[in-house]
Amino acid sequence: MNVAIIGYGAIAQYVATKLNASEDVTLSHVICREGREDHAKKCIGGSVQALTSFLDINADIDLVVECGGHAAFREHAVNVLKSGTDLVSVSSGVLADDLLMDEVEKHCDNTGSQMQFVPGAIGCLDALNAAKVGGLDEVTYVGRKKPAGWKGSPAEDKFDLDNLTEVVCHFEGTARDAARLYPKNANVAATTALAGVGLDKTKVTLFADPTVTRNTHEITASGAFGSLYFKIEGASLPDSPRSSALTAMSVVDAVLARLKSIRV
């Protein structure tokens, strides 16, 4: 399988290491921003070629993997899907933009390409997907990070994150609003919503919590299937305290799953 990767940050580098080690995958191209080609090539390793647009790739690509975040998705996803190539992405929250959601669906329908968002930092999406078949009544998502983990988000305007001594709630609302307001922090809320009752019906609460050491994600759901509660305390990648380890692992799994004859 010939794969191109978008981005060369912490998650992309973990994915590249694992894919470069697989006999069945050739990681042939990395797509980066202009001027970063040499650095991107070095970060991804192997015999990868660095380019700034999917349209410049002069080879047959079976799959593109987006690990660059919302801006990268906006810049490259449509070109990939329009070409009939499948796309695996970590940036589910970008689809809080209805126009982009429509465009993605249109190109997938027209070309037969598939847009797959990985579970990323969360789990239990298999149960939500299945439970949706019989009807879900309610899905809630609660996210907790230590105060410093919310730097660069709207939480910073509401609280003095450097000096918080007790837990504070800085967002309560729909998954759509969470994804719009917290583009770097609310992909998990969006992925949960897309698997379950959708961006407008999924209730999201976000806490800055000085007592947690790891990012914590909780899902509750109820419906015809019964009810569920799921909690995960996610570790970060060893060399990148802000990057979710399970997200990187989840991308590798999504790629390698395509080659398996028995899937669970």
Ligand X SMILES: NC(=O)c1ccc[n+]([C@@H]2O[C@H](COP(=O)([O-])OP(=O)(O)OC[C@H]3O[C@@H](n4cnc5c(N)ncnc54)[C@H](O)[C@@H]3O)[C@@H](O)[C@H]2O)c1
Q: Which residues bind ligand X (CB under 6 A)?
A: 6-12, 31-33, 67-69, 71-72, 75, 90-92, 120-121, 184, 187-188, 191, 240, 243-244, 247
Catalytic residue positions, numbered: 217
Token pair, residue 65, equals 């993997």
**How far, rounded to the nearest angstrom, does the alpha carbon of residue 240 sit from its chain's CA centroid?**
16
Find the shortest distance in angstroms from Cβ 178 to ligand X: 13
CB of 43 to ligand X, least distance (A): 7
* Cα 33 to Cα 143: distance, rounded to the nearest angstrom: 31
Which residue, 32 or 61, is less far from ligand X as judged by CB?
32
Whole-number minimum distance, CB 168 to ligand X, in Å? 22
C-beta of 33 vs 201, nearer to ligand X: 33
Q: Which is nearer to ligand X, 32 or 131 (CB)?
A: 32
Which of 119, 4, 114 has its CA nearest to residue 66?
4
Are 258 and 31 spatial neighbours (Cβ–Cβ below 8 Å)? no
Residue 143 or 223: the one with the smaller Cβ distance to ligand X is 143
Q: What phi and psi, each to the nearest 5 degrees, are found at residue 64?
A: -115, 140
- In whole angstroms, how close is the CB of 121 to ligand X at the nearest point? 4
Q: Is the CB of 92 or the CB of 113 nearer to ligand X? A: 92
Q: What are phi and psi of 78, to 5 degrees?
A: -65, -40
Say if residues 124 and 141 touch (Cβ distance below 8 Å): no
- Residue 125 CB, nearest distance to ligand X (Å)? 10
* Beta carbons of 255 and 25 less than 8 angstroms apart: yes
- Backbone CA torsion sign across 132, 104, 28, 67: negative
Minimum distance from CB of 30 to ligand X (Å)? 9
Q: Can you tell me the distance from the alpha carbon of 107 to that of 110, in angstroms, rounded to the nearest whole number? A: 5
How far is it, in rounded angstroms, from Cα 145 to Cα 163?
15
Instruction: Please spell the DSSP secondary structure of 28-75, one letter per residue.
Output: EEEE--TT-HHHHHHHH-TT-EEES-GGG--S--SEEEE-S-HHHHHH
Tabulate helix, strand, coil % of the chain (nearest 5).
40, 30, 35
Nearer to ligand X, 187 or 202 (CB): 187
